[in-house]
């Protein structure tokens, strides 16, 4: 059943299923939550459930013609507004509001999915607002966005809000294994780094295939002895946004393992269990990993605020070398 495809969002799913079961479907919904946690998939399943020809209580069969057409984007009553550039333009929303005036032709509901709704221009948002204020008959709007605060308060208040949570590490790991994207050990490692997002997990997996962890280990091995200008040379190849974005969580995970090893000596608690010898060795070199973990967190925040990556990484690595046991 399609709702079963949505992982780790029991509250959101129940909210939507109940609306359908109790015949209390509204005209406008706002799905909000971090990227990569299932908002878009849930919006499609919701459209399927509303129009399923099998009429399974609150769910979609996933197999009837309607369900299949919605999945492939070929249902005449389900519209997805594409984000082609930086903005959703007024011409796109005008087309939506025009189409909304016609009743559904095949299904029970005419459904408009507006992903990244925060990308609507002010004119587009105001145009949509008029339709949300007086929605025609069997018309449903689903807006998705990472943060409701990026939308006009008037739009927020017209929509029923459905919150999507960051996913649990276990849910991400199980998904990766189930989809044959990773073996159990690798899935566990990636899930720990993904910060609750399947999207991030998949990005990490792509980079992991490029053996990023081995590169990070290589970097740390060189840092054991590097000093001054040598440290600065080691930043080479890591300062581009996507590379740095992946380096920081890998470093954090590594130092987390050093900390765990120093405090417990229990190999089962390590994430990089397969590199035990190196962890033992490095746990001697860096006696205070918790300090470095705090520095990494700070660097991540700075990176999100668009700090100079080169400078950020130079400072980070120099701080790391200054914490070596001498």
CB of 314 to Zn ion, least distance (A): 56
Among 43, 67, 113, 124, binds Zn ion (CB under 5 A): 67
Between 67 and 120, CB nearer to Zn ion: 67
Nearest residue (CB) to Zn ion, 64 versus 129: 64
DSSP state of 78: E
CA dihedral 96, 102, 105, 109 (to 10 degrees): 70
Residue carrying the six token digits 């990227």: 35
Closer residue to Zn ion (CB): 52 or 142: 52
Q: Give yes or no for residue 201 binding Zn ion (CB under 5 A).
A: no
Distances (CA, A) of 92 to 83, 105, 116, 141: 10, 21, 13, 14
Minimum separation from the CB atom of position 179 to Zn ion (A) = 23
Residue whose C-alpha is closest to residue 127's, from 76, 88, 159, 82: 88
Q: State whether residue 209 is helix, strand or coil.
A: helix
Residues 6 or more apart in contact with residue 194 via CB below 8 angstroms: 167, 169, 172, 200, 201, 204
Residue of 64, 212, 217, 232 that binds Zn ion (CB under 5 A): 64
> Is residue 50 a contact point for Zn ion (CB under 5 A)?
no
CA–CA separation, 26 and 36 (whole Å)? 25
Smallest separation (angstroms) from Zn ion to the CB of 48: 6
Are 5 and 116 in contact, with CB atoms under 8 Å apart? no
Instruction: Output 49 or 293, the one with its CB closest to Zn ion.
Output: 49
Q: How far is the CB of 82 from Zn ion (least distance, A)?
A: 24
Contact 284, 262 (CB under 8 A): no
Applying CB under 5 A, the span of 66-74, 202-210, 217-225, 270-278 interacting with Zn ion comes to: 66-74
| Rounded-to-integer distance, Cα 281 and Cα 223, Å | 13
Q: Report the site for Zn ion in 272-311 (rule: CB under 5 A).
A: none
Residues 148, 154, 159: CA angle, nearest 5 degrees = 60
If the CB atoms of residues 52 and 193 are measured against Zn ion, the closer one turns out to be: 52
Subset of residues 154 to 193 that bind Zn ion, contact rule: CB under 5 A: none
For Zn ion, the closer CB: 49 or 187:
49
Closest CB to Zn ion among 64 and 232?
A: 64
How many angstroms separate the CA atoms of 127 and 121, rounded? 10
Least distance CB 52 / Zn ion (angstroms): 3
Answer for the pair 81, 113: CB distance below 8 angstroms, yes or no. Answer: yes
Segment near Zn ion (CB under 5 A); pick from 3-11, 58-66, 203-211, 250-258: 58-66
**Backbone phi, then psi, for 32, in 5-degree steps?**
-130, 150
Token pair for residue 206?
């792509």
User: Is residue 52 near Zn ion by the rule CB under 5 A?
Assistant: yes
Stretch of 49-57, 182-190, 240-248, 255-263 contacting Zn ion, by CB under 5 A: 49-57
**H or E segment and range at residue 26:** none
Decide whether 52 or 113 has the Cβ nearer to Zn ion. Answer: 52
* Interacting residue with Zn ion among 15, 17, 20, 61 (CB under 5 A): 61
Contacts with Zn ion, residue ranges (CB under 5 A): 52, 54, 60-61, 64, 67
């Amino acid at each position: 059943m399609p709702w079963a495809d949505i992982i780790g969002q029991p509250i959101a799913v129940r909210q939507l299923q109940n609306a359908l079961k109790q015949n209390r479907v509204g005209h406008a919904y706002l799905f909000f939550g971090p990227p990569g946690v299932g908002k878009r998939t849930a919006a499609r399943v919701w459209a399927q459930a509303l129009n399923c020809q099998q009429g399974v209580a609150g769910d979609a069969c996933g197999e009837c013609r309607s369900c299949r057409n919605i999945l492939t984007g070929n249902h005449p009553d389900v519209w997805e507004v594409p984000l082609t550039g930086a903005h959703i333009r007024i011409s796109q929303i005008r087309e939506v509001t025009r189409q909304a005036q016609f009743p559904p032709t095949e299904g029970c509901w005419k459904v408009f999915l507006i992903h990244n709704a925060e990308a609507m221009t002010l004119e587009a948002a105001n145009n949509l607002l008029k339709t949300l204020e007086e929605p025609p008959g069997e018309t449903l709007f689903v807006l998705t966005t990472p943060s409701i605060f990026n939308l006009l308060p008037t739009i927020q208040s017209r929509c029923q809000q459905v919150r999507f949570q960051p996913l649990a590490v276990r849910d991400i790991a199980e998904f990766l294994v189930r989809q044959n994207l990773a073996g159990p050990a690798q899935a566990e490692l990636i899930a720990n780094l993904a910060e609750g997002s399947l999207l991030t997990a998949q990005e990490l997996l792509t980079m992991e295939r490029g053996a990023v962890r081995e590169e990070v280990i290589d970097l740390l091995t060189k840092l054991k002895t590097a000093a001054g200008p040598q440290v600065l040379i080691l930043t080479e190849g890591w300062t581009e946004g996507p590379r740095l974005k992946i380096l920081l969580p890998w470093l954090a995970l590594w130092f987390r393992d050093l900390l765990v090893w120093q405090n417990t000596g229990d190999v089962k608690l390590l994430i990089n269990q397969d590199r035990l010898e190196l962890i033992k060795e490095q746990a001697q070199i860096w006696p205070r990993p918790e300090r470095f973990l705090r520095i990494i967190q700070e660097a991540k925040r700075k990176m999100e605020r668009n700090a100079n990556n080169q400078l950020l990484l130079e400072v980070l690595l120099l701080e790391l070398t200054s914490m070596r046991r001498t």
